[in-house]
């Protein structure tokens, strides 16, 4: 089994007025020197991001992507950079966890074979980890994410560290808790190739300050409980996979092959118009009996 969204999550450039307004709100934690440094980094990152996404030359895209990583790492080392929004970076998805404990910055670079290389970083809220680090836990300021999707065997049942990340561009973080453990379910998109896309639900857990992805929490009534959910489908199709805040449902659209002979050929999988949903029960996202119709999901 293995399963997936369609492109591109590019955010729009914010106006200077809006950017300035947002920075003024953070003036208590970002002094003028820090703001100047971060704004300079943002200008460089914005230019590199444009080349990383829009250049027709693969070498230029990859080189820009490597430079983007270096500049981003330097920017995140600046004191209190967590509070800087980087609003003008339209090629990057920045998501804060619901409890403002961390944020995940993720992006991708397209290759000529219409696949994507994924990059990301988990940046911790310095105000929150400072309190925790006074105890026994030692959180770092940020954790780079190294995409190893292509080399993770049996990925539906695997716990991985940040050096072996199942890469994706994330668009939602959902926090749940069970027995004093916080689970951060992340929903993302992966452009698998020229013929198919993927949508992904993974889970992030911190163990003594160390982040890990994957845990046995997805019970969709197969033989085993999955550590992550990966849905792959035709590149021209779209698949709903989202979290509904009001009812606390994790909703995903059912996908099926267009004909029985195409079972396992995921470029031939399409949504069938029905929706499944899971609810959080005793540390498990558990699939519920029956299905939702389109109007129930909106």
Q: What is the mean pLDDT of residues 101-128?
A: 90
Give the predicted TM-score (pTM) of the model.
0.87
Same-domain pairing of 77 and 102: no
pLDDT beyond 60 at 8? no
- Tell me which residue has tokens 């916080």: 182
Same-domain pairing of 172 and 200: yes
Same-domain pairing of 73 and 157: no
User: Is the Cβ–Cβ distance between 183 and 205 less than 8 Å?
Assistant: yes
Same-domain pairing of 180 and 291: yes
pLDDT beyond 60 at 25? no
In a domain, 6, yes or no: no
Q: Bridge partners of 65?
A: none
Return the DSSP state at 10: P
**By residue range, what is the domain housing residue 211?**
94-297
Same-domain pairing of 163 and 226: yes
pLDDT at residue 242, as a whole number: 96
User: Which of 49, 64, 84 is where one domain is finished?
Assistant: 84
Same-domain pairing of 242 and 161: yes
pLDDT at residue 117, as a whole number: 87
The rounded distance, in Å, linking the Cα atoms of 118 and 128 is 28
Same-domain pairing of 52 and 107: no
pLDDT at residue 106, as a whole number: 93
pLDDT beyond 80 at 28? no
Same-domain pairing of 74 and 124: no
**Which run of H or E residues covers position 249?**
strand 249-257
Same-domain pairing of 104 and 64: no
| CA count, 13 A, side-chain hemisphere, 188 | 29
Domain count, the chain: 2
């Amino acid at each position: 089994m293995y399963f997936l969204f369609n492109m591109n999550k590019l955010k729009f450039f914010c106006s200077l007025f809006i950017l300035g307004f947002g920075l003024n709100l953070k003036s208590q934690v970002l002094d003028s020197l820090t703001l100047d440094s971060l704004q300079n980094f943002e200008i460089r990152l914005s230019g590199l991001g444009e080349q990383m996404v829009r250049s027709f030359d693969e070498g230029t895209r990859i080189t820009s992507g490597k430079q983007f990583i270096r500049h981003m790492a330097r920017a995140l080392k600046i004191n209190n950079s967590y509070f800087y929004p980087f609003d003008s970076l339209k090629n990057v998805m920045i998501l804060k966890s619901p409890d403002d404990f961390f944020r995940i910055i993720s992006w991708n670079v397209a290759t000529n074979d219409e696949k994507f290389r994924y990059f990301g970083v988990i940046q911790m809220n310095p105000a929150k980890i400072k309190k925790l680090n006074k105890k026994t836990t030692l959180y770092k300021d940020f954790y780079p994410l190294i995409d190893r999707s292509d080399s993770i065997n049996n990925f539906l049942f695997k716990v991985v560290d940040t050096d072996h990340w199942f890469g994706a561009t994330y668009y939602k973080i959902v926090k749940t808790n069970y027995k004093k453990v916080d689970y951060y379910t992340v929903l993302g998109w992966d452009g698998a190739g020229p013929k198919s896309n993927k949508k992904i639900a993974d889970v992030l857990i911190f163990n003594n300050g160390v982040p890990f992805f994957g845990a046995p929490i997805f019970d969709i009534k197969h033989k085993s409980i999955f550590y992550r959910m990966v849905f792959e489908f035709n590149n021209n199709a779209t698949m709903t996979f989202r979290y509904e805040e009001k009812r606390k449902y994790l909703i995903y659209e059912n996908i099926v092959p267009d004909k029985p002979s195409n079972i396992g050929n995921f470029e031939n999988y399409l949504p069938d118009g029905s929706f499944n949903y899971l609810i959080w029960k005793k540390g498990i996202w558990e699939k519920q009996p029956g299905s939702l119709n389109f109007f129930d999901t909106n």
